[in-house]
Amino acid sequence: MDPEERPRHHDDLLSGFDEPDRRSIELRGFFASAIGASLVAWELAFDYGAYHTIFYSRLFQIFVVASVMLLGSLALRRQIKVRPWMFAALGAPVAWLVFRAFAPSAGNERWFRILDAVLIGLTVLSLPLILWVLARILAPDYFALSSRRLRVVAVGIVAVIAAVGFLVGRFNDRVVTCEDFVLAGDDTPANCAKAPPPVPLIDR
């Protein structure tokens, strides 16, 4: 139904685009994709802005995603077709974690540092491909959008949210306090703001 033909009291967001037409289905996919990607982008950007690093938990998540894709592809090799270079890309994060797990005592040796750097580099290079495959699987609605404008707008919104997340993380002392980080179970960034002392109820 055309927006101009809908009742004046109708609200697409409140109704969740419940009309059974293609327009509503596409817009629902647009918002679902943009919201899901923005939540991830905000968290990554905020952490990088506040702590200037990517937490180890994110690296573990990359390992989990790559492992599921790798093991699933091997288990279903008779049902799906996966090229050898894809197996190699998925194997990079797995090889890095296995190497770290079984060679921890050699951390100060030169060969260890060189091989570790190579595996980290391969993991970073494989990351865009892994994220692309993950998006294709988890956000098919985005790739089904028939309008190029919707796809561009969704990416633009995610980019804006990520930029705002980085800035809020970088200047977190203007938004939250050190105590907020502690209450959330997080480490306190170097530039976090101390909470002001409580105002006494009785002036002595």
Higher-confidence residue: 203 or 88? 88
* Least confident piece of the model among 25-29, 163-167, 189-193: 25-29
pLDDT tens readout for residues 47-98: 999 998 878 888 888 889 999 999 999 999 899 999 999 999 999 999 988 8
Read off the amino acid at residue 56: Y
pLDDT tens readout for residues 174-189: 999 999 999 988 899 9
What's the pLDDT at 203? 58
Residue 200: pLDDT above 80?
Answer: no
Domain ranges of the chain: 17-183
What would the mean pLDDT of 189-195 be, rounded to a whole number? 87
What would the mean pLDDT of 3-31 be, rounded to a whole number? 75
What is each CA distance from 60 to 12, 55, 94, 193, in whole angstroms? 39, 9, 10, 30
pLDDT tens readout for residues 87-110: 999 999 999 888 888 876 666 678
What's the pLDDT at 54? 78
What is the residue-wise DSSP string for the chain?
A: --GGGS-TT--HHHHTS-SSSHHHHHHHHHHHHHHHHHHHHHHHHHHHHHHSS--HHHHHHHHHHHHHHHHHHHHTTTTS---HHHHHHHHHHHHHHHHHHH-GGGTTSHHHHHHHHHHHHHHHHHHHHHHHHHHHHH-HHHHT-S-HHHHHHHHHHHHHHHHHHHHHHHTGGGT-BHHHHHHTTPPPPTTPBPPPPPPPSS--
